[in-house]
Amino acid sequence: MSAPAPITRRERLAPGAPPPAGTIPLTVPELRGNEWAYVKECLDTNWVSSVGSYVDRFERVVADAVGARHGVATVNGTAALHVALMVAGVAPGDEVITSTLTFIAPANAIRYVGAWPVFVDAEPDHWQMDVARLAHFLERGCRRVDGALRNVATGRRVRAILPVHALGHPVDMDPLMELARRHELVVIEDASESLGALYRGRSVGREGTCAVLSFNGNKLVTTGAGGMLVTDDDLFARRARHLTTQAKSDALEYIHDEIGWNYRLSNVLAAMGVAQMEHVREFVDAKRRIAERYRDGLAGVPGIAPMREAQWARSAFWMYTVLVDERAYGMDSRALLRALAERRVQCRPLWQPLHLSPAQRGAYHEGCPVAERLNRDGLSLPCSVGLGAEDQDWVIAQIAALAAPREQIAASTAPREGGA
């Protein structure tokens, strides 16, 4: 399928509907290993619930891949975030500092424990939480009162930082951890989108008290739905496990010592995860190859800025994203999205920054202009692990062909002078 047919009027669908047949998808799972065999084994042996050897194996392989002592598998990444915040002791009315440019899960999890997010803008180079803005908030916007750090504007106690390693790229953690130490804040890393990435040579998810991963269908490694909390802290892991299994303290007599949650992953899904983890290195390599091919292929296209990698990072390039400069390219990111959809290429804008989200009203922020610009100009391109070079070249060719001719751009951006 190197040249999918343009979509017909009859095929044109409502926004959000599945793309028509023949479309190059944004990202689909890669399920060509032992997934079927391991899942079948669960069914054949009757080990289908959350008690089963694949859950333990999945926790072990993921924790090992990250380099953590413990993994606690959960039904999804949002549940893992919820548990992490509870175990960290974040209480109702507290504030947790997080990224504004992210999928909404971390902010929702903060609300589940009755706390409030404080949203920090993205930095313009790698689009991660801007640690300089974080420092500005902690040093100018907060004050220590009776031993507790308080947001001067809201009066709330600031308890934790929840940086999101977005789109496969790490946040600059060294200065962030330095701030966390100085202000005595817990750090919970949301590494859902960045399994396989490195920060200064270390696996992402090794800096904070714990890190959270997601195995949702569009993530690098998937169990359909699933998540995990990884940590080196024995007590943290034990308490997380307790809370995800209804806080059962006596398995025979069914005695529960507090309110718990039913957040454990099932053995069937963990089996899929074990099979997926056998290929995690190849998956990251594939994502990096795709990123390189886009970078090279789009290099000459005016107004298309590729995703960048910090010199201290090895990105997992989970969701390959470009910025579309409307003036230089000739159309904006949403017009390009529609034009590519007509050519059977499925793309997606970045998330609405959470400081603008109606669901997150009441959260504090100090203005996030960079995230707003990234949201306006960002467009994620097809980047499945299994994306073939021919299909990718076809996507690149469409983006190049849709660019305004150079003369037209020169005319529209040149300073107007009389007499020409």
Contact set with ligand PLP (CB under 6 A) = 76-78, 102-103, 105-106, 164, 190, 192-193, 214, 216, 219, 227
Least separation in angstroms between CB 105 and ligand PLP: 3
Q: Which is nearer to ligand PLP, 119 or 394 (CB)?
A: 119
Least separation in angstroms between CB 107 and ligand PLP: 9
In whole angstroms, give the CA distance from residue 184 to residue 159.
Answer: 8
Q: Which is nearer to ligand PLP, 165 or 314 (CB)?
A: 165
Least separation in angstroms between CB 168 and ligand PLP: 10
Partners of 33 in beta bridges = none
Q: Do residues 370 and 350 make contact, with C-beta atoms less than 8 angstroms apart? A: no
Sequence-ordered list of residues with C-beta below 8 angstroms from that of 169, at least 6 positions apart, any chain: 126, 127, 128, 194, 197, 307, 309, 310, 313, 315, 316, 317
Least separation in angstroms between CB 368 and ligand PLP: 16
Least separation in angstroms between CB 106 and ligand PLP: 5
Residue with CB nearest ligand PLP? 77
CA angle 191, 193, 199 (to 5 degrees): 55
Q: Do residues 132 and 141 make contact, with C-beta atoms less than 8 angstroms apart? A: no
Q: Which is nearer to ligand PLP, 219 or 344 (CB)?
A: 219
Partners of 145 in beta bridges = 148
Q: Which is nearer to ligand PLP, 90 or 142 (CB)?
A: 90
Least separation in angstroms between CB 318 and ligand PLP: 8
Least separation in angstroms between CB 219 and ligand PLP: 6
Angstrom CA distances, 65 to 69, 96, 276, 295, 314, stand at 10, 28, 12, 28, 15
Q: Do residues 90 and 110 make contact, with C-beta atoms less than 8 angstroms apart? A: yes
DSSP per residue, 128-150: SB-HHHHHHHHHHSEEEETTEEE
Three-class SS of 307-361: CCCCCCEECCCCCCEEEECHHHHCCCHHHHHHHHHHCCECCECCCCCHHHCHHHC
Q: Which helix (H) or strand (E) holds 244?
A: helix 234-244
Residue whose C-alpha is closest to residue 360's, from 5, 98, 152: 98
Least separation in angstroms between CB 262 and ligand PLP: 15
Q: Which is nearer to ligand PLP, 105 or 385 (CB)?
A: 105
Q: Do residues 127 and 306 make contact, with C-beta atoms less than 8 angstroms apart? A: no
Q: Which is nearer to ligand PLP, 214 or 245 (CB)?
A: 214
In whole angstroms, give the CA distance from residue 305 to residue 199.
Answer: 23
Q: Which is nearer to ligand PLP, 130 or 193 (CB)?
A: 193
Q: Which is nearer to ligand PLP, 83 or 324 (CB)?
A: 83
Q: Which is nearer to ligand PLP, 368 or 403 (CB)?
A: 368
Least separation in angstroms between CB 343 and ligand PLP: 27
Sequence-ordered list of residues with C-beta below 8 angstroms from that of 361, at least 6 positions apart, any chain: none
